[in-house]
Structure 1
């Protein structure tokens, strides 16, 4: 209960954002991420990939939480500076552009990773929410980025495009999934598990009973405090295993 209250207070009653916007370019086009430096001696870096809303205060709050715990943290921008879709149709359109152009998805993610590593520690865990979770798995399958120590996806898309696969030398992967998710089914979870087993990959899948899709989004109708806390604890374990001490 104490840990849950701490998490809720960190998100709901957080002070003004402690980090800062970071402008960067990809192929001559402007993007704007968000960075917060680790308090004290850095334990490593965390790169956060946003959901289909684009980079918003939600990811920024998570960046601040990680920085307060001693991690250099950076939230990527995969849509472009100022492009933050509001209605559902616009959000679907933005994600479709990248789902249909996987090379662009990887290029933008790797550019954000490079920016993150320029600002902080090179050893990095990459995590993402919803659409961002699918992007994390895309990066994990590509396997070309240096200094990535782990991956985590929260209520993310889990399907594997034709022609792609996982490898045995992939860094550890955490999959946090809601048992009541109607957008990504338990059949999808099982299929991913079979792929990872076939590849002899190192992974952990946690399923939280009754939790719907987007269960970590505080203030939404889908928010599930228990699943949010348990998935954050599991993420802490991954950080401790791969980078050092966990976040509170």
Structure 2
């Protein structure tokens, strides 16, 4: 079932190349070990950075990176947790994400390390950053940071949307695409409205798409929350965003 769904999603976009190769990448940040995943396109039109969900850098991110490489983009799924961080249980995941939410300086340093690793491997530097759930919050953290202009755009799938205290949107950030499930019980529509108000007030270019009946984590293949209709539609929207921000 996963194979057929993935194939259908890929078929919604124009496939212009096949992956040159893909592999796990080990890198270090302040002597800590991290593992990302690199998928390279044959003739890349741009680079996509993938921010993982709260369960860490898994086969899900590898699969999405492969899909992007098949569409003609280099892709790097970075690691925000590191080798020693347990993610097996819900409590582990809450602890891992909570530690980074409480330490935004560390979050940004890990983002920068992943960006640097991706750029060191890519022969194209124009970049879009995407994130899933926790990774969506990480993508927006980068968009609000001094690294914002490193990328041409930011996209979140059922991602965390709250702007932390002490941070603001300035209005000169690259375009932001938010894809949200209308039935998301973890990230409420009130959060979507608050973000829209903040972005509108700042003058940031943004698009928000809400998919009716889609729960939280609606893109996660094989999960109880997976909704094929919303997954396919959001992937198509993301493809259009990539085409606009990474014209090749």
Instruction: Name the TM-score, length of structure 1 as normaliser.
Output: 0.91
1:15 maps to what in 2?
Answer: none
Match of 1:186 in 2: 189
Q: Note closer, same or farther for the CA distance 1:190–1:35 as it changes in structure 2 (3 Å cut).
A: same
Alpha carbon RMSD of aligned pairs, Å?
A: 1.9
Looking at structure 1, the residues matched to 145 and 241 of structure 2 have their Cα atoms a distance apart, in angstroms, of 21
The answer to whether the 8 Å contact 1:55/1:84 transfers is no
Q: Aligned to 1:168, which of 152, 171, 191?
A: 171
**Is 1:48 the equivalent of 2:40?**
no
Change (3 A) 1:181 1:154: same
Instruction: Give, in angstroms, the shift of residue 145 of structure 1.
Output: 4.5
Mapped contact 2:53–2:132 kept (Cα < 8 A):
yes
Gaps spanning 5+ residues in structure 2: where? 13-20
Contact 1:47–1:113 at 8 Å: present in 2 too? yes
Unpaired stretches in structure 1, ≥5 consecutive residues: 11-17
CA–CA distance in structure 2, aligned partners of residues 153 and 70 of structure 1: 20
Residue equivalent to 1:227 = 230
Moved over 4 A (4+): 2-5
1:237 & 1:50 partners in 2: Cα distance?
A: 21
Aligned counterpart for 1:242 among listed residues 227, 241, 245: 245
Q: Distance in 1 between matches of 2:148 and 2:171?
A: 15
Q: Aligned in 2, Cα 1:212/1:167: closer, same or farther, shift over 3 Å?
A: same
Q: How much does 1:158 deviate?
A: 0.5
Show the counterpart of 1:150.
153
Q: Secondary structure at the match of 1:19?
A: strand
* Equivalences for residues 196-211 of structure 1 within 5 A: 196-211=199-214
Distance between the aligned counterparts of 1:62 and 1:84, measured in 2? 23
Deviation at 1:42, TM superposition (A): 1.1
Other-structure match for 1:137: 140
Note the alpha carbon deviations across 1:126-152, whole angstroms, 9 max, x for none: 000000000111111114344310000
Distance in 2 between residues matched to 1:84 and 1:65, nearest whole Å: 27
Q: Residues 92 and 174 from structure 1, CA distance in 2 versus in 1: closer, same or farther, beyond 3 angstroms?
A: same
1:201-241 CA-to-partner distances (Å, cap 9, x unmatched) read 00000000000000000100100001001110111111000
Tell me the distance in 2 between the aligned counterparts of 1:49 and 1:200: 25
TM-fit CA distance, 1:81: 2.3
> In 2, are the aligned partners of 1:4 and 1:229 still within 8 Å (CA)?
no
Q: Which residue is equivalent to 1:90?
A: 92
Count of residue pairs the alignment pairs up: 236
- In the TM superposition, what are the counterparts of 1:8-157 in structure 2 within 5 Å? 19-39=22-42, 41-81=43-83, 83-120=85-122, 121-157=124-160
Cα deviations by residue, 1:49-91 (Å, 9 ceiling, x for unpaired): 0000000000000000001111110000011126451110111
For residues 81-120 of structure 1, the C-alpha deviation after alignment (integer angstroms, 9 at most, x for no partner) is 2645111011101001100100100110111011111111
Asked if the contact 1:110/1:145 (under 8 Å) is kept, the reply is: no
Q: Tell me, in whole angstroms, the C-alpha distance in 2 between the residues paired with 1:195 and 1:211.
A: 24
